[in-house]
Amino acid sequence: MRKTTKLMTGIVAALAISAGGVMAGGHLNKIGERQKAMKAVGGGIKVLVGIAKGQTAFDPDVVKKAALTIKANLNATKSLFPEGTGPDSGVKTRAKDEIWLDMEGFQTAMKTAIAAADNMAGVTEQSAFMPALGKVGAGCKACHEKYRAPKQ
Amino acid sequence: MKKKIAILVAALGIAGAVAFYFISGPNPLDETAISTQIASHKVDLKNGQILYNAGGCISCHRPAKGVKAQNLPSGGAVLKTPVGLFFPPNITPDEKTGIGRWSSLQFLNAMKRGLSPEGKHYFPAFPYTSYTHMSVGDLLDLQAYLNTLKPVDASENKKTSLFGEDLLRRGVGGWKWLGLQTNEFEPQPSQSAGWNRGAYLVTGPGHCSECHTPRNFLMVSDYSRILQGGPHPEGKGKVPSLVGLVKRKKFKDIEDLNSALRFGEIMGYEDISSGGMGEVQTNMSKLPDSDTRAIAEYILSFK
């Protein structure tokens, strides 16, 4: 009985410590994770812009793939902005305080952009492509304008 | 001896105060010289609208969140500056709370001299420091365009209230006397028409230097280092340099930069959204293509 109590305490303590470790480490890791996801979003946009500029031909399958990359990665970032990962976290980030001052507005901007990517994924006609791209771009811009600091 | 010094110091103090009083007083436009220009001007509303967009008036004079007509410059949204919080006023033609009853001369004095109809100094958070370089004709067209907008009653707006505001405004007068250059833009005959148009839009209405040009010790744009990047006017962070954009592989050519100014993130240009630049770009997307192209030509001439 005594032994099991000790063992239990030991396990609980170990769990608590490792959980704390994951919290602290994972917490700041989230900054790197979301930057990686945003880079992938940027990669998706490049493919679409290539089509818009006429550098590559319009192909619904390529459009769909790029749009779904954008959608999936934006979705992934939703949970990657926990409290304490802003400009004062000590890790280099362009996320502005405004995100946590106005989390509702931030998540709304996220939803709008995701919906625009979703809409793009369904584009099969070339005539619908530019208007759809306008919506996606406006989605990125609306959020970066308010919630992301300049590069420098 | 001590007494003499005390008297001298007091005298200097009074002289200084008197000098400050005169220096910090209003320095309006010469009414007789300008009234003939006003009288002979033929209004071009289309031009006024271009200048409204180039000037980005809506970026600062937008209404607070929640007000319905977000596209009218009825003021009230907060503008953060190192001096404090500003609530830019209503510039729709409402007679009571806007500028509908302003004379041409009053409007010109605001835009070219930073002076209110009562002779008070505006803070340079209102970029008259750039608008002063605009031509009288363009400013009259701009005023005429503003007067075609729907008047909005802004009596509910928050108003700017700074600590020691009256004295600070006199201080702005002193600062203007020291540093404000009010020369009108002059084209350079050796350059192309496009370059000159771009230079005018960037220097005057576009007020790009307010963010992209570093400031000297008087806190005015240091044009000897034009567009080399500066501190952000809101007090935090930096604004990038616009010199050597092609060499630094930011943009390929005039066409490429023009496309960035017109379309921004819609065409994947990603470094043109944050820190207030997104609003500037939105405003520029409303300009004629020839104007954004001219801006691109001028900026890329800084190799």
* Three-state SS annotation for A3-24: HHHHHHHHHHHHHHHHHHHHHH
Q: pTM to 2 decimals?
A: 0.92
- Which residues on chain B are in Cβ contact (under 8 Å) with A98? none
Residue B47 belongs to some domain of the structure: yes
- Phi, psi (deg, nearest 5) at residue A68: -70, -30
pLDDT range class, residue B1, cuts 50, 70, 90: low
Residue B239, chain A, CB below 8 Å: the answer is yes
B119/B57 Cα distance (integer angstroms): 22
Residue B218 belongs to some domain of the structure: yes
Beta bridge partners of B104: none
- Which residues on chain B are in Cβ contact (under 8 Å) with A149? 237, 274-275
Strands B84-86 and B230-231: unpaired
pLDDT in tens, B54-94: 999 999 999 998 888 899 999 999 999 988 999 999 999 99
* Residue from the list B232, B239, B273 with its beta carbon closest to the beta carbon of A144: B273
Residue B121 belongs to some domain of the structure: yes
Residue B154 belongs to some domain of the structure: yes
pLDDT higher than 90, residue A123: yes
Distance from CA of A24 to the nearest CA of B (A): 28
**Amino acid A10: pLDDT:** 45
pLDDT higher than 70, residue B137: yes
- Which residues on chain A are in Cβ contact (under 8 Å) with B263? 137
Pull the structure tokens for residue B226: 């034009």
**Same domain, residue pair B46 and B103:** yes
Distance from CA of B273 to the nearest CA of A (A): 5
Q: Report ipTM for this prediction.
A: 0.86
CATH number at residue B241: 1.10.760
Residue B22 belongs to some domain of the structure: no
**Same domain, residue pair B137 and B202:** no
Work out the average pLDDT over B231-248. Answer: 91
B70/B150 Cα distance (integer angstroms): 12
Q: Between residues B191 and B5, which one has the greater pLDDT?
A: B191
Mean pLDDT of chain B: 93
pLDDT higher than 90, residue A11: no
Number of domains in chain B: 2
pLDDT range class, residue B25, cuts 50, 70, 90: confident
* Residue from the list B238, B267, B270 with its beta carbon closest to the beta carbon of A152: B238
Residue A59 belongs to some domain of the structure: yes
**Same domain, residue pair B149 and B258:** no
Using only C-alpha atoms, what is the Rg of chain A?
A: 21
Strands B238-239 and B79-81: unpaired
Distance from CA of B121 to the nearest CA of A (A): 31
Q: Between residues B220 and B115, which one has the greater pLDDT?
A: B115
Residue A152 belongs to some domain of the structure: no
pLDDT range class, residue B24, cuts 50, 70, 90: confident
Strands B238-239 and B230-231: antiparallel
Residue B203 belongs to some domain of the structure: yes
Write out the residue range of the structural domain in which residue B251 sits. Answer: 193-299
**Same domain, residue pair B272 and B133:** no
Asked if B238 contacts B256 with a C-beta cutoff of 8 angstroms, the reply is no
End-to-end alpha-carbon separation of chain A, Å? 62
Which one of A88, A141, A143, A146 makes the best mutation probe of the B interface by having the most chain B beta carbons within 10 Å?
A: A141
**Same domain, residue pair B48 and B172:** yes
pLDDT higher than 50, residue A20: no
**Same domain, residue pair B41 and B165:** yes
Which of B156, B179, B202 is the last residue before a domain boundary?
A: B179
Residue B255, chain A, CB below 8 Å: the answer is no
**Same domain, residue pair B175 and B197:** no
Number of domains in chain A: 1
Residue B15 belongs to some domain of the structure: no
B153/B156 Cα distance (integer angstroms): 8
* Residue from the list A49, A145, A151 with its beta carbon closest to the beta carbon of B267: A49
CATH number at residue A98: 1.20.120.10
- Closest among B186, B177, B216 to B204, alpha carbons compared: B186
**Same domain, residue pair B120 and B197:** no
Work out the average pLDDT over B231-250. Answer: 92
- Closest among B300, B130, B112, B125 to B223, alpha carbons compared: B130
pLDDT higher than 80, residue B11: no
Helix axes B2-23, B165-179, angle to 10 degrees: 80
pLDDT in tens, A63-88: 999 999 999 999 999 999 999 999 99
**Same domain, residue pair B43 and B130:** yes
Q: Between residues B216 and B108, which one has the greater pLDDT?
A: B108
pLDDT in tens, A98-118: 999 999 999 999 999 999 999
Which one of B234, B251, B270 makes the best mutation probe of the A interface by having the most chain A beta carbons within 10 Å?
A: B270
**Amino acid B219: pLDDT:** 85
Chain A interface, Cβ < 8 Å to B? 42, 45-46, 48-49, 52-53, 94, 133-134, 136-138, 140-141, 144-145, 148-152
Task: Please indicate whether, in this complex, the C-beta atoms of A94 and B279 are within 8 angstroms of each other.
Answer: no
**Same domain, residue pair B138 and B202:** no
Write out the residue range of the structural domain in which residue A49 sits. Answer: 2-147
Task: Please indicate whether, in this complex, the C-beta atoms of B278 and A48 are within 8 angstroms of each other.
Answer: no
**Same domain, residue pair B206 and B163:** no
- Which residues on chain A are in Cβ contact (under 8 Å) with B229? 152
**Amino acid A17: pLDDT:** 40
**Amino acid A18: pLDDT:** 40
Residue B6 belongs to some domain of the structure: no
Beta bridge partners of B238: B231
**Same domain, residue pair B175 and B35:** yes
Mean pLDDT of chain A: 87
pLDDT higher than 80, residue A9: no
